A and B are shown apart, each in its own frame.
Chain A
Amino acid sequence: KAGVTQTPRYLIKTRGQQVTLSCSPISGHRSVSWYQQTPGQGLQFLFEYFSETQRNKGNFPGRFSGRQFSNSRSEMNVSTLELGDSALYLCASSDSSLNTEAFFGQGTRLTVV
């Protein structure tokens, strides 16, 4: 079974630009969660999608948004990038009916310059 795939692995953007990150969950998993990881703030929950609907949301500004497609693939978008958005963005999928564990991708390292 293929794991969680995140693309791209690395990204450099300029302040003010926008960026879209992609996540393909494990086949059959309908829940996809996104996290931001920084040295100062640790792992912070962004949002969770289930069956194309946002089901849970963390405390991030509206510049951070996401969506999920009918095949469970998910994208997150960050608009008007700030230097502080530089982070490792992790995606996790789970079989949310059981919630036995979350499977993480390797992440996308975003650097804003």
Chain B
Amino acid sequence: AQSVTQLDSQVPVFEEAPVELRCNYSSSVSVYLFWYVQYPNQGLQLLLKYLSGSTLVKGINGFEAEFNKSQTSFHLRKPSVHISDTAEYFCAVSVRNTGGFKTIFGAGTRLFVKA
């Protein structure tokens, strides 16, 4: 079975500081990896995805993530955060099964950017 662990439930950070949101997964088969962002009272929006190829993936709003197969991690980073980045971030793993694809989400990390 697959699982996703987001190691931090909350991450407070000052504006313009760098940030890393950690995500580890477990799976016995190949996976697709995603990071989504959720603003208050909204649905989830895709930040970036890893399907194959280069392990460094760049997404929207200046975010990037690196797929590390040996450590089964997919950490999200941003070199300089803004107040507007305050939101909840979800890591997700998608695997192919007999029924198609199944996507599992982590518990989420709440990023709080302080002025």
Partner-B contacts on A (CB < 8 A): 4, 6, 31, 33, 35, 42-43, 45, 48, 50, 55-56, 90, 92, 94, 96, 99-107, 109
Contacts and interface: CB of A to CB of B under 8 A. Distances in A.
Contact size range, B: 20 to 34
A111 to B, nearest CB: 13
B100 A55 contact: yes
Contacts of B106: 42
Contacts of B42: 106-107
Q: Does more than half of chain A's interface fall in helix, strand or loop, or is it mixed?
A: strand
Contacts of A105: 43
Interface of B: 32, 34, 36, 41-46, 49, 51, 90, 94, 96-97, 99-108
Q: Does more than half of chain B's interface fall in helix, strand or loop, or is it mixed?
A: strand
For B90, B94, B101, which residue has the most chain A Cβ atoms within 10 angstroms? Answer: B101
A33 B103 contact: yes
A107 B99 contact: no
A104 B45 contact: yes
B101 A43 contact: no
Given A45-B103, A45-B104, A100 B43 contact: no
